[in-house]
């Protein structure tokens, strides 16, 4: 019996099951075997994944469909206040929150929205695109118009208190200038790779799940990089970049600097590596290595760039890898098991 398993049973007998979260356990740094091979199982990016997993688990534990689980799960994060997901998140450099999301089911169906404004649950709009239209992706005002037609309320567009504060702070430090001047400022004209507090910019929520029937699905939702150029779209709504599911093989999702993920078709690469027989962790590591290779000629930028992948395979094995220390993911496979695992890192 593993040490963690023994600890779980000890806590269970002490009646501390409800405290058995990543916080209660501390972040685990060991091979990601805990829960491997289980069904159902859900994993998601970052600490926000703990709450998101709880939403997904309610669906999975009752034998529900992975697709419903990954939608319900990330809706939790879209409703929370965070820097990087949902309408409470940090805006673009013009002061508007714009949202990207994608979803993919066990039959290879997928839907996504990009540059969507004033709609609280972009993930659900992405699902409607998948289920109600012959298309995969809707963007901008058209996506918003579709959402309204589908009955989603149009929110007021005001920044949350936290977002307003962060934006005002960023305006000071970035010495924001009109576009004509910004062009001369090099990369600082674009979204910063780190936020003013030093954290990496950005913490997307991505989730992949395997249900009791053995079916895989995934979701990914974000406000994109904080203070991005207006109109910038990242990897999250792009199938094969921020999210990919192949029900015969596995599912993967990504977080971090979306441009780097897009350049490598990151999650499609992870799934293809799993198809070659690699464990999800090994597949994620190889995809991260590929991203790092792409920094040839611009090595100095690498230290400020974070990308992380998480993946599960058809057997319920899971894993993650990232460029830099600091990324973690949440794994849930039982009422009493929902914990954070540190992503292994290359640098
Ligand atoms: N990974 C989220 C983004 O780059 O927008």
Q: Is 278 helix (H, G, I), strand (E, B) or coil?
A: coil
Range of the domain at 92: 38-345
Q: How many domains does the chain have?
A: 1
State the pTM of this model: 0.87
13, part of any domain:
no
What is d(CA 81, CA 108) in angstroms, rounded to the nearest whole number? 32
Residue 312 included in any domain: yes
In testing the pocket of ligand 1, which one of 191, 201, 242 has its CB within 8 Å of the most ligand atoms? 242
Report yes or no on 73 lying in a domain: yes
216 φ/ψ sector (left φ>0, alpha ψ -120 to 50, else beta): beta
Question: What secondary structure letter does DSSP report for 301?
Answer: G
Residues enclosing ligand 1, CB less than 6 A? Answer: 202, 204, 222, 224-225, 234-236, 255-258
Assigned domain for 291 exists: yes
- Edge-to-edge, what's the strand order for the sheet holding 110-116? 137-139, 110-116, 99-104, 216-222, 205-210, 41-45, 328-334, 337-342
Mean pLDDT by 10 residues, the chain (347 residues): 35 31 38 74 96 98 98 98 95 96 98 98 98 98 98 98 93 62 41 70 89 98 94 97 98 96 98 98 98 94 92 96 94 95 94
Report pLDDT for 176: 59
Give the residue whose CA is nearest to atom 5 of ligand 1.
224
The C-alpha atoms of residue 347 and residue 302 are separated, in whole angstroms, by: 9
What residues are labeled active site? 204
* pLDDT for the residue 175: 60
For residue 5, the model assigns a pLDDT of: 37
What spacing in Å lies between the alpha carbon of 182 and ligand 1's midpoint? 22
Residue 241 near residue 267 (C-beta atoms within 8 A): yes
Distance between Cα 46 and ligand 1 center (Å): 14
Is residue 246 a part of any domain in this protein?
Answer: yes
- Which atom of ligand 1 lies closest to the CA of 223? 5
What is the pLDDT at residue 6?
A: 34
The pLDDT assigned to 37 comes to: 79
- Establish if 24 belongs to a structural domain: no
> What is the predicted pLDDT for the residue at 157?
96
Q: Residue 137 falls within a domain, yes or no?
A: yes
The pLDDT tens digits of the residues spanning 269-313 come to 999 999 999 999 999 999 999 999 999 999 998 988 999 999 999
With beta carbons less than 8 A apart as the criterion, state whether 301 and 335 touch. Answer: no
Q: What is the CATH number of the domain that holds 252?
A: 3.60.20.30
């Amino acid at each position: 019996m593993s040490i963690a398993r023994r600890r779980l049973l000890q806590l269970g007998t002490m009646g501390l099951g409800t405290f058995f979260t990543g916080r209660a356990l501390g972040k685990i740094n060991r091979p990601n075997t805990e829960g491997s091979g289980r069904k159902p199982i859900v994993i998601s990016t970052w600490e926000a994944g703990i709450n998101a997993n709880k939403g997904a688990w309610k669906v999975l534990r009752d034998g529900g469909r992975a697709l419903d689980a990954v939608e319900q799960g990330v809706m939790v994060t879209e409703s929370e206040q965070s820097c990087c997901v949902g309408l409470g998140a940090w805006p673009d450099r013009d002061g508007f929150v714009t949202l990207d999301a994608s979803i993919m089911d066990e039959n290879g169906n997928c839907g996504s929205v990009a540059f969507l404004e004033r709609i609280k649950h972009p993930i659900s709009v992405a699902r409607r695109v998948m289920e109600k239209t012959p298309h995969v992706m809707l963007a901008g005002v058209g996506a918003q118009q579709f959402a309204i037609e589908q009955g989603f309320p149009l929110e007021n567009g005001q920044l949350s208190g936290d977002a307003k504060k962060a934006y005002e702070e960023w305006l000071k430090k970035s010495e924001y200038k009109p576009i004509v001047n910004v062009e001369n400022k090099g990369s600082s004209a674009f979204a910063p790779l780190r936020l003013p507090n030093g954290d990496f910019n950005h913490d997307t929520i991505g989730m992949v799940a395997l249900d009791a029937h053995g079916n895989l699905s995934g979701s990914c939702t974000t406000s994109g990089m904080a203070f991005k150029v207006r109109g910038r779209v990242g990897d999250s709504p792009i199938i094969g970049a921020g999210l990919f599911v192949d029900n015969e093989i596995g599912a993967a999702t990504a977080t971090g600097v979306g441009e780097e993920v897009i350049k490598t078709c990151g999650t499609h690469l992870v799934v293809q590596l799993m198809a070659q027989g690699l464990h999800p962790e090994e597949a994620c590591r190889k995809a991260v290595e590929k991203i790092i290779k792409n920094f040839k000629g611009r090595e100095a930028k690498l230290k400020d760039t974070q990308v992380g992948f998480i993946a599960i395979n058809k057997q319920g094995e899971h894993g993650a890898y990232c460029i830099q220390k600091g990324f973690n993911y949440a794994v849930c496979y039982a009422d009493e098991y929902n914990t954070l695992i540190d992503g292994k890192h290359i640098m």
